[in-house]
Each structure stands twice: as C-alpha cells, then as structure tokens.
Amino acid sequence: MDWSRQTDEARHWFETLRDRICAAFEAIEREAGSDAAFDYIAWNRDTDDGSHGGGGVRGVMKGRVFEKVGVNVSTVSGVFAPQFAASVNGASAEAPEFTATGISLVAHMANPHVPAVHMNTRFLTTQSAWFGGGADLNPPIAYAEDTEAFHARLRAACAAHNPTYYERFKKWADEYFFLPHRNVHRGVGGIFYDHLECDDEAAFQRHFAFTRDVGEAFLDAFPAIVRKRMGQEWTAEEKAQQLEWRGRYVEFNLVYDRGTLFGLKTGGNIDAILMSLPPEVTWS
C-alpha cells in the first residue's frame, strides 16, 4: 500500500501541533515578562547516494521560564543500514525502505519546582505502517497533584479510544523510562505506545485520531502545570537537586532512548537529535 497521502496528513498535523505548542510556550514567557521566542532552523537529510531524503525544522527557545525547550518536526525517508533494519518493525535487510514523520519535544525548566517534560508522536512506514509516541513528566521535585493531573488528562485521552490503553501504555512507559544501571525511573511516567498497526485506511484513521488526542492532552495538561509552579521561589539546594537529576535524563537519552538511536542511525540532524540534552547539568 502507498502511504504517501497518509504520511502527508500526519505531517500536517504534527506541524500544526508544533505551531500551537510553541505559541502556548511563548505566551507563558510573556506572562513572566520575557520576550523569548523560538528560533527555527530548517535542515535537509541528504542520503549517501546524493538523493534528497526529506528533512525537518528544529525549534529552540531559551527563556525565563523555559531554560531550554526544543520542538522538532521532521519527515524523512530512505533505507536503513542492513544491521539496523532487522531491529525495526516491518523492515529487513531485504526490504530496508522507510518513511517517518513526527514531532518531538523536550522542555527543561528554569525553576526546579516546574517539571521537565518529553512528548513525541510519529507515523512510520516500512513494509508495515504504524503510529507510536507518548508523553512523560520528569520533575526534579515531584508534586503528587501535578503527577495526578498529568496522568488524569492522558487517562481521559486513552479512555476515549480503548478502555485498555491507559493501563497498557502507562505500564509500557514505566518499564521504558527506566535506568537499569541506577535502578530508578527517569520521572513520574506518563504513557508510551508503539506499533499501532495500520492495515488499512480505517485503522490509520483510528490510530491517527488517538495520536492527535495524545497531542491535545499534552497541550492541555502541561502548560497548566507550568503556570501553577513557575512563580515558586527556590533555594540553591533545590537548584542543585535539579541539576543533578538532569544527569539521569542525559544518561537515559544517550544510552537507552530509541528515538536518539533512530535519529543517529538514519542520518538525522545531530542538533535536532540531541536537543533533548539540558543546557546545564551536574554529576555528583
């Protein structure tokens, strides 16, 4: 099946979601008395044979509330290296072709009382086609009510599509966003899903609707938490706790994160791939 129309449909949604998220984050900066705005840098992915393999736009803002936030949208295509193809759903050394479109966001906050956050959703095609993604909250200083609010909004998004989704995808997030070498979770979780297979147009539209609702849930939940916490005062000890906690975030993204590996293995833009890394971090 030719999935080019569906890829374009998904790409358009991801770009629209990017614009709305960036506008919401810039509005928060204005409320804090900052004129910070996103800088957007377009990049192209050139394949080894010189053909055009798509590209994307990397958006980064450094402000008073958002110490560093990156929002990337990309649409790329090409062939996987044979040894990597075997690890990707629907691909193989004999059929290494792929297309991928998605949005990826990571925000590191100036105030240690405001949680860092990660969100991404994507549509990939190989010999199969599927949606994946999720969102997870990563507070250096956790507040139970923030965790519950974030999960409640994701729970509602899941419940509108399948009564089993939330528990399944929450468990997946808890297992995935975990650092075995430290025996700790990266944060307080969220949802993570992958391989929502699209066998036909009906399945595409069903899983696309769910993926859109994950984006809407994030846009509804996270700015509300930021506004609730961004005015709190913090101590030097709390800031130090945040910087050390960020080290765990770095370790996960560089050692275990699938998205980082996918970007590096498919010739993605290095700055876009590593935009998830915080601007300042310490290790004890």
Mean pLDDT, rounded, for 107-128? 97
Q: Give the pLDDT of residue 95.
A: 74
Q: Give the pLDDT of residue 1.
A: 75
Q: Give the pLDDT of residue 219.
A: 98
What's the whole-number average pLDDT of the chain?
93
Sign of CA dihedral 103, 136, 213, 98: positive
Domain assignment present for 283: no
State the residue for tokens 């009564």: 163
Instruction: Kindly report, residue by residue over 142-155, the tens digit of the pLDDT.
Output: 999 999 999 999 99
- CATH number of the CATH domain containing 242: 3.40.1500.10
Are 265 and 84 spatial neighbours (Cβ–Cβ below 8 Å)?
yes
Per the structure, the count of domains in the chain is 1
Instruction: Kindly report, residue by residue over 43-71, the tens digit of the pLDDT.
Output: 998 766 656 689 999 999 999 999 999 99
Domain assignment present for 79: yes
Phi/psi at 88 (nearest 5 deg)? -110, 135
Q: Give the pLDDT of residue 50.
A: 59
Instruction: Kindly report, residue by residue over 183-237, the tens digit of the pLDDT.
Output: 999 999 999 999 999 999 999 999 999 999 999 999 999 999 999 999 999 999 9
Domain span at residue 88 reads 4-276
Q: Give the pLDDT of residue 273.
A: 82
| CA angle (99, 102, 107) in 5-degree steps | 150
Instruction: Kindly report, residue by residue over 130-145, the tens digit of the pLDDT.
Output: 999 999 999 999 999 9
Domain assignment present for 112: yes
| CA angle (140, 141, 143) in 5-degree steps | 130
Q: Which residue has the higher pLDDT, 273 or 135?
A: 135
Q: Give the pLDDT of residue 47.
A: 63
Largest alpha-carbon pair distance within the chain?
A: 57
Burial (0-12, 13-18, 19+ Cβ within 10 Å), 50: exposed
Instruction: Kindly report, residue by residue over 231-265, the tens digit of the pLDDT.
Output: 999 999 999 999 999 999 999 999 998 888 877 87
- Could you say which of 12, 108, 113, 118 is catalytic? 118
Report the range of poorest mean pLDDT among 22-31, 73-82, 226-235, 244-253.
73-82
Q: Has residue 267 got a pLDDT over 90?
A: no
Closest CA to 170 of 182, 145, 152, 183: 152
Domain assignment present for 281: no
Domain assignment present for 282: no
Domain assignment present for 242: yes
108 in catalytic set: no
DSSP letters spanning the chain: ---HHHHHHHHHHHHHHHHHHHHHHHHHHHHTT-----EEEEEEEE-TTS-EEEEEEEEEE--SSEEEEEEEEEEEEEE--HHHHTTSTT--SSS-EEEEEEEEEEEEESSTTSPEEEEEEEEEESSSEEEEEEEEEE-SS--HHHHHHHHHHHHHHHHTT-TTHHHHHHHHHHHHSEETTTTEESSSEEEEEEEEE-SSHHHHHHHHHHHHHHHHHHHHHHHHHHHHHTT----HHHHHHHHHHHHHHHHHHHHT-HHHHHHHHTT--HHHHGGGS-SS----
